[in-house]
Amino acid sequence: MIQDFHGTTAVLTGAGSGFGLECARIGAARGMNLVLVDVQQDALDKARAEMEAAGAQVLARKVDVADAGQMEQLAKDVKERFGAPHFVFNNAGVGAGGLVWENTVADWEWVLGVDLWGVIHGVRLFTPMMLEAAAKDPAWRGHIVNTASMAGLLTPPNMGIYNTAKAAVVSLTETLYQDLKLITDQVGASLLCPYFVPTGITSSERNRPGALAADKPTRSQLIGQAMSNKAVSSGKVTAVEVANQVFEAISANQFYVFSHPKALGNVRSRMENIVSLTNPADPFLERPEIGARLRAQLRGAD
């Protein structure tokens, strides 16, 4: 159980917007040292200025979390400045839609690079540092929070590349939790699965690598982007509320964190289909008009 955050250090990827930024704001208010990581320099600079004005000690780094070398340098910089971090928020993410066979190799490499490999790098680099610190001090406590998505527990159509990345993060984080329990009681883990929450993820294309930026999106990708924009922008739960939930989960050593618990009914239905060997259900069962519109759009009707 972690109650006192003052003087501890947190590494936050995707710190320039969304959940990362809101968690950083809570961290600054609680007297934490903050390592702010983002690929977008202007957003990073703005976050750094805000956190320093709030009195936090800040290390800000522009890093592509998909890049092993950049992440390894980040880990060295963190250790040199603050020592082992007490908290790691592997939060950076990008979104992409479209029919699963229409995604290019470049699409897969970009989304899996950020959404999955970014988490992998965060886990492989910072967990050993945290375990080393815990071994030296019985009072030391740490916690890793990985951001997946409800898309990692469900399989909404026309966004398979994102579903795949987030399902892997779910599996990775559940395994991390179990692996940590074998080794220590001093370092915990949590899995954040947001649903539709207004963040910067719907404008991920702003950070799409230059070589990919010119790729012309397919019809299904454009439709998926429009649906995602509408769903996320109309979300009623805010990133601030979710960030507060995350800190409550850390304090309570709670593993699963859901922004929309009511959506768990869909997860239950999926699991019941699996154990009863029933084919996947219609994902639009409760909102048939959305499914009808999507099918019509993809089949070329107006």
Report the amino acid identity of residue 245: Q
Q: What would the DSSP string read from start to end of 58-127?
A: EEEEE--TT-HHHHHHHHHHHHHHHSS-SEEEE-------B-GGG--HHHHHHHHIIIIIHHHHHHHHHH
Q: Catalytic residue numbers?
A: 162
* CA 128/CA 136 separation, integer angstroms: 13
Q: What would the DSSP string read from start to end of 3-15?
A: ---TT-EEEEETT
Bridge partners of 9, per DSSP, are 33
Burial of 103 (0-12, 13-18, 19+ CB in 10 A): buried
- Check if the beta carbon of residue 109 is closer than 8 Å to that of residue 161: no
* CA 294/CA 127 separation, integer angstroms: 43
